[in-house]
Amino acid sequence: MARLIFISPYMKGGRDAARLAHRTRYFATREGVQLLKDDNSSLPATKKQQQYIRRLLRSFPAASELPEHEDYVNMPSRQTAFDLIAQIHEDFIEPMDSRENYLDYVANRPGVKALGEHGLWDANGKVPSLENAVAEVAQHTGNVWTPVISLSRENAERLGYTNLENWQALINATITDIAKGYKINPNHIRWYAAMHEKEKHIHVHMVIFSSNPSEGYLSRQGIRNIKSALVNTIYRNDRMHIYEQKDRQRNLLQQEAESQMSALIEQMATGTLQSDKLELLIKDLSKRLQEVGGKKVYGYLPPRIKRIVDEIVDELSKDERVSTAYSLWQDLREELCKDFNQTPPMRVPLSQQKEFKTVRNMVIRETLRLSDMNLSLEDDIMSDEQELEEPDSINDLNAERTVYQQTQFYNRAKNVLVDPEPDPSEKAAALVTLHRLWEEGYSAAAHQLGRAYRDGLGITADHKASAEWFQKSAEAGNRCSAYALSKLLLEQEQIPQALRWLRQAAEQNDQYAQYRLGKLLLTGAEGVPKDIDAAIRLLKDSAGHGNQYAQYMLGKLYLLGQEVKTNREEALRYLTQAAAQGNTYAQYFIDHQDDISGVAIGTAIIRMLHQMSRIFRENAAQPAVYAEMQIDKKRRRKLQEKRMAMGHKADDHEDRGLTQQTQ
């Protein structure tokens, strides 16, 4: 993107202005300002020109921003030296020579975009009286700044800034930012401007001062802020065009990259990992964590333990799947930095990458679970998804047609609510549709209303209302509503009520309700008294319905003899069923059935690999191109944590198990 030139000389009030005028007159009239003939213009700059330019740049450092200076540096000929000297005189020396002369010069100089008899304008358009404006500036006792805003002719023509109206609109749109940059109260700023055209660039000369003579100060940061405001306005449409082009290019590249990343994440989520070094490091970390008190999170640990955690993370990152995914993630991030003209950060090991700092606490959590290995359930990636059961066929053709139409309305409303794109009015209409369907006896609508209130879909989140709608759907016979209600009540620590609905869903053969209730009774979690016999029955019921996590849990219990009598044959039967569905942990137990003593750390390593996939999935999401469309990563994580705290997995869609029944 081409740069904008912004320089801002100033004239002091009182005696300083006279002294500075005398000094600058000396620079302007002393020997060394050499006029050139056309036939010598391409020769190298003379020694006197070079010396004079050096003195001018020492006196006016901001002159190095001029495009004429860039031309002179690239090709120091007599012509480019003359152009630079002339431009410095115009932009820096002449403004300081005399306030009256400068404003009159700005309004009437050759090349000015005239508005009748002169080219001076302000916030109200053409200045009615040039004489009054000249007098106002000349009599002002405070500082007066004389900024110049310049664009190359090529960019000015491309962006529409050969047009006076566009320059006027630009200044009016950014004048508040300009005032803040000069530390002038926006209500006090006074200014005049004129647009000038030259062969190579088009620019605006301004005169800026405050109605409060003691007010106003321009710092380097102020210049940066003003320039940023001008650039953002001038190049807004240009940036949009560039981003659109880069979007298309990036999308082509990212489709392959994201596909590769997705495959790597899937391999991590379902893969295994064996490492003797990792086993030794995890044993060491487990021992040391037992020796320290206080919070067992990375930020609170002693340096020696942090180093072990870092070493485990870096050892995990040596796995080909992890290392490839991390390298790909860095490639995508660097590409994004280039799009925003930012310098890509230095590549660092995974353990030191701040965007992946959650990996370190994940390692600590999984190591702490070693002591509970026998009852650890390894179901972090379990999805509670179930297929939507179609309503029973109806003999009455008209009734059947009505249910079909209701189902269409229901599906459309459900899709609108879960879609992040539709506007609020569409979501509000979807909620009205669901209320109407419920009143017509379409009970599945109550479940969607429960979800809407629970997750804040098109309406303010309200867990009490959510529970009421889930209960209506559950009372109509929808087992997945009973399951969703039980999870919501567990989150609210309403244990007796939660168990009631969890048992109802389990009795309706909901495999996830059976598994969840079995877990609670097996571990005594959530304040539920342990009941091993009931837990085993529920886990067997869930396993019988094909739940791989129940199958794995039963296999592990029978193999380890934990809570049940050891039964290797029964253990292998359940583990084989789970492994056939792709359960990595079950397969690991099968492969290591003769080395049970070392299986604890092995499963911990696999859990770490699987958790790594979740962290990569969160960090691999492509940020939006425009800042206003971005969602802060911490905010996204908090929303996800809030959702999961209510009993959901990241991809929890209980409604697929809904059975449509009439009230």
- Give dist(CA 89, CA 68) in Å, integer: 12
- Give dist(CA 416, CA 428) in Å, integer: 10
477: buried, middle or exposed (CB in 10 Å: 19+, 13-18, 0-12)?
middle
Give residue 11's pLDDT.
65
- Using CA atoms, how far residue 247 sits from 234, 241, 339, in Å, is 21, 10, 9
- Give dist(CA 418, CA 2) in Å, integer: 42
Contacts of 253 (CB under 8 A, 6+ apart): 335
CB 94 within 8 A of CB 205: no
Tokens for 323? 């290392």
- Give dist(CA 540, CA 523) in Å, integer: 16
Tokens for 541? 């019921």
Phi, psi (rounded to 5 degrees) for 278? -60, -40
Partner residues linked to 618 by β-bridges: none
For residue 341, the 8-state DSSP code is: T
Structural element, H or E, at residue 500: helix 495-507
Q: For residue 633, give the nearest of 267, 252, 333 by alpha carbon.
A: 333
Give residue 277's pLDDT.
92
CB 458 within 8 A of CB 430: yes
Q: For residue 527, give the nearest of 482, 488, 493 by alpha carbon.
A: 493
Q: For residue 225, give the nearest of 270, 180, 168 by alpha carbon.
A: 180
Tokens for 132? 């009054």
CB 134 within 8 A of CB 100: yes
Tokens for 149? 């805003």
Domain ranges of the chain: 5-234, 240-375
Give residue 15's pLDDT.
43
3-state secondary structure of 195: strand
3-state secondary structure of 68: helix
Find how far residue 409's CA is from the centre of its chain. Answer: 34
- Give dist(CA 141, CA 12) in Å, integer: 8
- Give dist(CA 234, CA 20) in Å, integer: 34
CB 126 within 8 A of CB 132: no
Model pTM score: 0.51
Low-confidence ranges of the chain (pLDDT < 50): 1-2, 15-38, 97-99, 373-374, 385, 387-388, 390, 392-395, 622-633, 648-657, 662-663
> Treating both helix axes as pointing N-terminal to C-terminal, what angle do 78-88 and 67-74 enclose, rounded to 10 degrees?
160
Give residue 37's pLDDT.
44
- Give dist(CA 532, CA 110) in Å, integer: 96
Q: For residue 102, give the nearest of 67, 61, 144 by alpha carbon.
A: 144
Give residue 364's pLDDT.
92
Contacts of 387 (CB under 8 A, 6+ apart): 656, 657
Find how far residue 371's CA is from the centre of its chain. Answer: 38
- Using CA atoms, how far residue 302 sits from 282, 285, 293, in Å, is 16, 12, 10
DSSP per position, 565-583:
---HHHHHHHHHHHHHTT-
CB 189 within 8 A of CB 171: no
Count the residues in the chain: 663
Residue 390 amino acid letter? E
Q: For residue 357, give the nearest of 309, 289, 322, 320 by alpha carbon.
A: 309
Partner residues linked to 208 by β-bridges: 145, 191
Give residue 290's pLDDT.
87
Give residue 540's pLDDT.
94
